[in-house]
Amino acid sequence: MKDLGLWGQLIYYFSHNGMYVLSQFNQTFLVSIYGVLLGAIVGIPLGIWISQYRRLSPVIIGAANVIQTVPSLAMLSILMLGLGLGQTTVVVTVFLYSLLPIIKNTYTGMLSVDPDVLDAGKGMGMTRWQVMMTIRIPLSLSVIIAGIRNALVIGIGITVIGSFIGSGGLGDIIIRGTNATNGGAIILAGALPTALMAIITDLVLSFIEKRLTPKTSSEH
């Protein structure tokens, strides 16, 4: 094995364990996505809500901030005491960490909608619900997506650490690499797909974000 060199070993590794890496990739991706999705389900309505009742915003955003200050390994261990080992605990952890970026971005997005446009909507006789659905949410979507994008990149990082509490995924490969004889190639085999996943999801979401960014009216 040693005569192959690091890159040769890496290629050898992928050709022998391709299916395994793929399934671990899949697991890591799903755990992160589910956590962020749950974060969006809770975070977006919360963000919209506090943008309407602004006195509540320091409380909610403050709470989300506090969660963010707990180191992820500590959070995993704390939740493990209650939820046990495995993927559920990691999904919940990712969920908690995705709250702050999503709530904050939703809140900011809601408030940054041009008041003139809102006035125009009201002037046309729109109800509050209609203003929300046809003006506020569509116009702030790009900012909300930016929050989700942030959350997802954080989430992938946390999921990899989640291997320490038995959730599997690409983190398993990295940890195994640290235990194996000359594990350099194995560590790379776990780390490169992880980085790739983070970069690709970031690119895809930034593409969506760009398409959703409101342009000045003359462009329509």
Partner 1 sequence: MRNKLRKWLAAFLVAVVLLPLGGCALPGLAGSGNNTVRIASQNTTEQQIMAYMIAGMISHYTNLHTSIINNLGSGNVSFNALKNNNADISSIRFNGTDLTTILDEKFERDPAKVNTIVTQEFQKRYQMTYFKSYGFADTYAWMVKQSYAKKHHLETVSDLKKLAPNMTVGIDQIWQNRQGDGYPAFQKMYGYSFGKVLPMQTGLLYDALSADKMDAILGYSTDGRVGSYHLKLLKDDRQFFPPYDASPVATDAILKQHPALKGVLNRLVGKISLTTMQKLNYQVDDQLEEPQTVATNFLKQHHYFEGGK
Regarding 131 and contact with partner 1 (CB under 8 A), the answer is no
Cβ count near 89 (within 10 Å): 23
Q: Contact with partner 1 (CB under 8 A): which of 32, 36, 37, 97?
A: 37
Are 176 and 183 a contacting pair, CB within 8 Å? yes
- Per DSSP (E only), the strands in the chain are none
Q: Contact with partner 1 (CB under 8 A): which of 3, 55, 123, 220?
A: 220
Regarding 88 and contact with partner 1 (CB under 8 A), the answer is yes
Regarding 84 and contact with partner 1 (CB under 8 A), the answer is yes
CA distance 199 to 21: 18
Q: Alpha-carbon torsion 42, 47, 53, 57, what sign?
A: positive
Spatial CA neighbour of 51 closest among 138, 117, 113, 116: 113
> Is the Cβ of residue 2 or residue 55 nearer to partner 1 in the bound state?
2
Q: Contact with partner 1 (CB under 8 A): which of 32, 51, 72, 87?
A: 87
Q: Contact with partner 1 (CB under 8 A): which of 79, 137, 187, 192?
A: 137
Cβ count near 50 (within 10 Å): 22
Regarding 69 and contact with partner 1 (CB under 8 A), the answer is no
- Residue 53 phi, psi dihedral angles, 5° rounding: -115, 80
> Is the Cβ of residue 1 or residue 78 nearer to partner 1 in the bound state?
1
What tokens does 4 get? 């192959």
Interface residues toward partner 1, by CB under 8 A: 1, 9, 12-13, 16-17, 19-21, 26-27, 30-31, 34, 37-38, 40-42, 44-45, 84-88, 91, 133, 137-138, 141, 144, 163-164, 166, 168, 172-173, 175-176, 178-181, 185-186, 208, 211-212, 215, 220
